[in-house]
Amino acid sequence: MRLNVLKTSTAALGLTVLAALPASADGAKIGVLECHVKEGVGLIIMEKERMTCKFTPVNGNVETYYGQINEYGLAVGVTAGTIIIWGVIAANTTYQPGTLAGKYVGISAEASVGLGVGANALIGGSNKAIALQPVSVQGQVGVDIAVGITDMDLVP
């Protein structure tokens, strides 16, 4: 029950914050990417987690992506799953289906004892032209602390 409330609250917060974000001079908001990350175990140096994502473009059909997010650095603990919501920024508003596919790199920080929070800002995708800005502070349940470099792969 607590996890469902957390998921719903996180999603609502993310969509509200995205609507309030100003368009960047360096890019245009093209949609929202919401990823459901499977439970994970921190392995001191590296943490790997599989995920399923839904991209909701400003104009167009919802797309499903699958991927893996890897965190390199300090990662100790166990989490029961995470929801991460990013605002998707591109060089322009012209979006082709599948553009989010590719490798992303950035930095991350998270902590939880019971309910927890974290954030990941990433750049990559097709032609490395997509920026993922954390819209929601990710919601997770477990006991975990992690900080370091994050890379993520997305495939349609």
58-92: pLDDT as tens digits: 988 999 999 998 877 655 555 566 788 889 999 88
Residue 63: per-residue pLDDT: 97
List, in sequence order, every beta strand (DSSP E) within the chain. 28-37, 40-57, 63-90, 102-124, 130-134, 138-155
The answer to whether residues 57 and 97 touch, using CB atoms and an 8 Å cutoff, is no
With pLDDT > 90 as the criterion, what percentage of the chain qualifies? Answer: 23
Structure-derived torsion over alpha carbons of residues 46, 116, 87, 146, reported in degrees to the nearest 10 = -20
Note the pLDDT of residue 71: 75
C-beta neighbour count of 55 within 10 angstroms: 25
Mean pLDDT along residues 19-23: 40
Residues in the chain: 156
pLDDT the model gives residue 130: 92
Domain ranges of the chain: 2-155
What's the confidence (pLDDT) of residue 154?
94
Whole-number Å distance between alpha carbons of 130 and 154: 12
Query: What is the token pair recorded at 37?
Result: 């990350």
Better-predicted residue by pLDDT, 42 or 135: 135
- The mean pLDDT of 34-63, rounded to a whole number, is 80
Is the CB of residue 18 less than 8 Å from the CB of residue 86? no
The mean of the pLDDT values for the chain is 70
